[in-house]
Amino acid sequence: MNNINQNKKRTLIIGAGEASELLIPYFRTHKGNSLISIGLLDDREDIQDRLGVPILGKLRDIKEVVHEYFIEHIIFAIPSLQKNIKIDILEMCAQTGVQTEVMPDIAAIVSGEGSIQTMQKLDYADLLGREEAQLDYEALTPKFRGKRVLITGAGGSIGGELVRQLAKCEPAEILLLGHGENSIFNIHQEMRMKTQIPLVPLIADIQDRERLQAIFNNYKPDIVYHAAAHKHVPMMEDNIGEAIKNNIIGTQNLVDMSVQCGVERFVMISTDKTVDPTSVMGASKKIAEWVVQSKNNDRNAGIYSVVRFGNVLGSRGSAIPLFWKQIKMNQPVTITHPDMERYFMTIPEASQLVIEASVLAKGGEIFVLKMGEPQKIVDIVHKLAILAGKKRSTVQIKFIGIRDGEKIKEELFEASEFTTGKNHLNKFYCGEVSIPKAILNIKNWQKHFNQVTESDLRVQLFDLINAK
C-alpha cells in the first residue's frame, strides 16, 4: 500500500468543509486516482482532523505548509468563499509553483452539473470582483403566473438563460423564438427535461414582418423579451446592412406587432456600447433603443423599457473562453490594448436583471446592473491565470491593437440621459431619456438605409445618431 501511495502526488486541500468531506473519500475509494491527501488548511478554530486527514494550519500558511510537507498538488475546496478572498488565496497557491485545481460547487455536484473529476472548470463569477446578484423568484412568481411570455433569440446564451430563469417564475407558457433551428431545438429539448411549463419552439426571422404578425396573432404574448441581435463589433463593421436590418428593422417589427397585439410589457436587451457609439453595432442598437422607448408615447402601448448590459462573461462572442484556452495551452494571450477595460456581469446575472427590470419598469427607463468598477482586461487575464493555478509572471500577453469600432473604455449612460439615482434592491442604476426628434418625426426612417454601398450605409446610420 505504501508503495502505491509513494507513486501518488502529495496533495494539500484548502478548506475542511463539505467539499473536503466528498473529496477525501473519493481519493480513498478510487484506486486509479493519482493523488493522496496529506492534510488540510482552514481558518476555523473548532475544526478537528477530518476523516483521518490532519489540519496542517490556516489559509495564510499555504507557502510554509507546501514547503514543509513536500506538497506536489493543491486542491481549493471552498467553492462558496467570497470572490475577492478566493482570488487572493488562489494567488498564494500560484506563488508556490505547485499545480492548483479548483473544486466545483457542492450544489453543482449534487445536481449533476459538476463532479469531483471536473476540476478547474472556469466559474465566471470568480472574475467579477464582487458578489453575484441574485433573483428573488418567490417574490416575482405572482407577476408571471397566467402570462404567456415570448423570448426572441431564445437559443442564444442570454435568451437561453432567460428561458431557464423564467421557467422558475411559473408563467403559463414560454414561446421560444429564434432564427437558428439547432439552437432552438437544443434549448427546447433541455427545458422539456427540467420543467412542466408549456414550451413552444418557433423558427422565425425578426426581419420577416409577416411571419411575426402570424405568430403574434396566433399566440398573443403578454410579455416580450427581445434578446435577438447581431452583437459582434468587428464583424458588424464589415456587415453594416445586416446590422441595420436585424438590430433596427427587426426591433421595429417586433414593437409594432407588440403594440398591435396589446403586449403588456416589452423589454429590449441592449448594450453599454450604445453610449456615444463608435461602432456600427453600438449605433444600430442605440437606434433600436429609441424605437423601443418611443412606443411609450403611444396611448395604446404597454410598458416598453431597455436593459443595458456590460460585457457578459461566457456569452457567445465573449473573449474570456479564448483567454482561458490560451492560458491552459500555455499560449500568448491576445489582448487589443493594455488600457482596455470593461464592465462585467455573468449570464445568470444578466438574465435575472432583465426579468427583474421588466417587473420594475414604468415605461421609458434604461436599466443597468450595478456592476462595480470597470475592470481592465489585463487584470481579468491575471485572475484567469490564478484560477488556472499559474503564476501571473508565467502568462505571456500579446497586444494586437484596437479593432474597428472598439473603445478603450465603455460608459453606462450618456450625458443627455437623466439618471434617477434610484436604488432598486441595490442592483440597478436607472436612467431615462427623451426620444430624439430624428426618430419621432420620421414616419418611415428605414428609407435612410436604402443606399447601395456599405460606406453610404455607415454614413446614414451615424447621421441619424448625430441628428438627435
Three cell numbers, residue 314? 461566457
Between the alpha carbon of residue 300 and those of residues 53, 218, 260, the distances in Å are: 69, 20, 8
**Cα-atom radius of gyration of the chain, to the nearest Å?**
25
Query: Using one digit for the tens of pLDDT, what is the confidence trace for 12-43?
Result: 999 888 778 777 777 777 655 678 888 899 88
Query: Using one digit for the tens of pLDDT, what is the confidence trace for 288-310?
Result: 999 998 888 888 889 999 998 87
Write the CB contacts of 134 (distance below 8 Å, at least 6 apart in sequence).
352
Q: Mind giving me the DSSP string for 278-322?
A: -SHHHHHHHHHHHHHHHGGG-TT--EEEEEEE-EEETSTT-SHHH
Provide the β-strand partners of residue 14. 41, 76
Is 273 designated active site? yes
For domain 2-121, the CATH architecture is 3-Layer(aba) Sandwich (3.40)
Question: Which is it for the CA torsion 221, 223, 225, 226, positive or negative?
Answer: positive
Q: Nearest 10 degrees: CA dihedral of 435, 436, 437, 439? A: -80
Q: Which of 245, 273, 286, 383 is catalytic?
A: 273
Question: 246, 206 in Cβ contact below 8 A?
Answer: yes
Domain ranges of the chain: 2-121, 137-466
Three cell numbers, residue 438? 430624428
Per mean pLDDT, which of 117-121, 256-260, 413-417 is the most reliable? 256-260
C-alpha–C-alpha distance, residues 439 and 295, integer Å: 11
C-alpha–C-alpha distance, residues 83 and 313, integer Å: 15
For domain 137-466, the CATH architecture is 3-Layer(aba) Sandwich (3.40)
One fold for 2-121 and 137-466: yes
Q: Which of 430, 435, 429, 431 is nearest to 417 (CA)?
A: 431
Helix or strand or coil: residue 67? Answer: helix
Between the alpha carbon of residue 233 and those of residues 186, 229, 271, 281, 338, the distances in Å are: 26, 12, 11, 6, 19
pTM metric for this prediction: 0.73
What mean pLDDT do residues 340-355 have? 84
Query: Using one digit for the tens of pLDDT, what is the confidence trace for 206-254?
Result: 999 999 999 999 999 999 999 999 988 889 999 998 999 999 999 999 9
